[in-house]
Structure 1
């Protein structure tokens, strides 16, 4: 069996090869961020949205960029890597950026990146008819600053929440911010529906600036971005989650509260299923 490849700063290597130094700032301090991309039939879905978010993340983190830096060649390497790994028809890709090697007050500050690619089952394009079972994660609260909108390599909150979710046999769990409002889930942005109106937490509430979130807000045109109190969510008619890989996923229950999925299914058919 051919060894799976990764791409490190434009060079393709076997994934088993060591590629980062012990002084890598993303490894040492979580000083990095990543994009999760979906490749379908040889193209990156929502490429413009991903490019915009990468550039925004670089600006917020004040990362030094090489002269004439462009994300376009990196996106080309994403497709090339998928071809090498035999998954160019349907793939999940992680594109990770870090800010070089060194300590907190010194270092080379050289932008580095790693691309990983895995086959993606077509079932990820379908609506989840059985619904998700979820609950609340109460132990760690997320901040509400602009850094919270980045898909940060510093992911302790999410790894602890994922362990908590597995312990309770949930599919995902809901995260609060420091204002005691609903923020997002471990791997998705959150929307709720009440009286046929669609809502989602505002970016100022600390949620990740999700690509699928942005796409749906642009496409639907009537989504209200607002703080989400616990009672808003528990009193909703429907709840659904979004991310770039799975599109829209209907939430069947949050702990003891059950939800319908009719409008969530319609939204999936209109805005997600039509892509495939």
Structure 2
């Protein structure tokens, strides 16, 4: 079942049309949230990011869009899809209402909530081979719009096609300053000794929820030194570890980039701490 503005529809129903601004112009935002046994992981962070992003895009935030209201709508969708006692992946999409061309007729919004099953209730480290390559056909523009989770994801789509065509599990994106920004589906962390780097938001990376949580965890660990700083492509092959973070997988280690193979020591250390942080939210 799909939740559209509080009304439940079957997944094969037609409740949107060709005038939808998310379809026509990518005039939409989304949040992907892990929900386990009725608990929304890092829900406050997702909610605050969504509200901040709506303000940046000059969308009108409805008075009803409180944390409690949206949580109720999410849980109704999870329950209707018989996932209340299971791990679930939830996507909340908010888009400006129909009308207008580039200039909208209104800044009012609608929302859609979808829920699907996940295999594990915990973040689990994937030990399978995971090879990446740089995707350099198109570049990320280092500005505030690139940090938002909008529906404008063509570079991620084309990059995913490129990865599949060439036998890679993922690709790393670079900005127009030729610095490594993120992966196709998450933020990037680089480990060298006890030094951990992740690109800063000013380089154009997504303002990721798990990125934020890991930064908070690392800042409280004395045996690691965290730095938010640009990462050049030349640093990748000198690293001991590379890993990707997102709200569904948690931490995804990269096993190979070109001729370099990587360890997973730090990723293994952090996955348990991330699960502990999720349980406390």
Question: Do Structure 1 and Structure 2 share a fold, with TM-score over 0.5?
Answer: yes
Deviates more, 1:111-120 or 1:62-71: 62-71
Q: 2:124 aligns with which of 123, 126, 143?
A: 126
Q: Secondary structure at the match of 2:197?
A: strand
* Structure 2: distance between partners of 1:135 and 1:105: 38
Q: Where in structure 1 are there 5+ consecutive unaligned residues?
A: none
- TM-score, normalised via structure 1 length: 0.94
Shift of 1:131: 4.2
Contact 1:21 1:101 in 2 (8 A): no
CA, structure 1 residues 117+72, in 2 after alignment: closer, same or farther (shift >3 Å)?
same
Aligned length: 272
Q: Which residue of 1 aligns with 2:243?
A: 240
CA, structure 1 residues 107+253, in 2 after alignment: closer, same or farther (shift >3 Å)?
same
Q: Secondary structure at the match of 2:160?
A: helix
CA, structure 1 residues 275+71, in 2 after alignment: closer, same or farther (shift >3 Å)?
closer
Shift of 1:23: 1.4
Q: 2:54 aligns with which of 55, 58, 68?
A: 58
Shift of 1:84: 0.8
Q: Secondary structure at the match of 2:255?
A: strand
Deviations 1:82-105 (A, max 9, x none): 111111221001111111112212
- 1:49-128 aligned at under 5 Å gives the runs 49-67=45-63, 69-88=65-84, 89-102=86-99, 103-122=101-120, 125-128=123-126
Q: Where in structure 2 are there 5+ consecutive unaligned residues?
A: 220-224
Deviations 1:52-76 (A, max 9, x none): 1111111111111223542421221
Q: 1:251 aligns with which of 243, 251, 254?
A: 254
| Structure 1: 4+ residue segments shifted above 3 A | 273-276
The Cα RMSD (Å) is 1.6
Deviations 1:167-219 (A, max 9, x none): 11211110011110001011110000112111100000101101100011112
